[in-house]
Amino acid sequence: MANDTALFLGQFLRNPAAIGALAPSSRHLAAAVCAPVPEKGEPIVVELGPGTGPFTAEIQHRLSGRGHHLAVELNERMARLLAERFPAVDVANEDATRLGKLLADRGLRMADVVVSGLPWAAFPDQLQRDLLDAVTGAMSPGAAFTTFSYIHAIPLSSARRFRALLAERFEEVVPGRTVWRNTPPAFVFHARRPR
């Protein structure tokens, strides 16, 4: 998807801290990040920072028309593209720190799964905390949260701080295997049971 890569790169160059990546995630990373989306029932799935939609496509495939999929994208251009590309998805061009209000405005109960494509290592401490407060506040007790980190970000202090915050905010945090078939390679965090 050359057009997606060009859009991503252009938006990254305009605001690298908000976009956090040079290109969209691969289908291999999407499969790993979206693994907690249930195969049955009517789950409420929240996607944060969907960008051009690689995780969105995987979530839609797994849901097969079930449940409610809310995608929260701060970048207006990407939100428009996402809404056009995935008409079945409830796309909100909003700040993810407002997640609780976004769910309440739609009459939705708490999320069963939160999938994040946000660039956590690019965020300052307070924004990481505010976003995780919004995530944990919007999750049901048995809900799952998944996100990823690029392997080159491991030594960054902001990435180490984020991993510590995950352990502080969730009873269980399990790092997944490295997804080498992504540019750049990345690994997934699976977190459950918000504290």
Of the candidates 76, 81, 116, the residue with the CA atom closest to the CA atom of residue 94: 76
Residue 20, phi-psi category: left (phi > 0), alpha (psi -120 to 50), beta (remainder): left
What pTM was computed for the model?
A: 0.87
Q: Which of 63, 111, 124 is nearest to 88 (CA)?
A: 63
Average pLDDT rounded to a whole number, residues 100-121: 96
Kindly tell me if the per-residue pLDDT of 14 is higher than 80: no
Across residues 117-125, what is the average pLDDT? Answer: 94
Q: Is the pLDDT of residue 17 over 60?
A: no
**pLDDT digit string, tens, across residues 131-185:** 999 999 999 999 999 999 999 888 899 999 999 999 999 999 999 989 999 988 9
Question: 93-111 in b/e burial notation, b at 16+ Cβ within 10 A?
Answer: bbebbebeebbeeeeeebb
pLDDT at 108 over 50: yes
d(CA 56, CA 7): 17
Residue 104: phi, psi to the nearest 5? Answer: -60, -40
Fold of 24-194: Rossmann fold (3.40.50)
**Tokens for 191?**
């977190």
All residues at 6 or more sequence positions from 45 whose CB lies less than 8 Å from its CB, including other chains: 37, 59, 63, 67, 68, 69, 70, 111, 112, 113, 114, 115
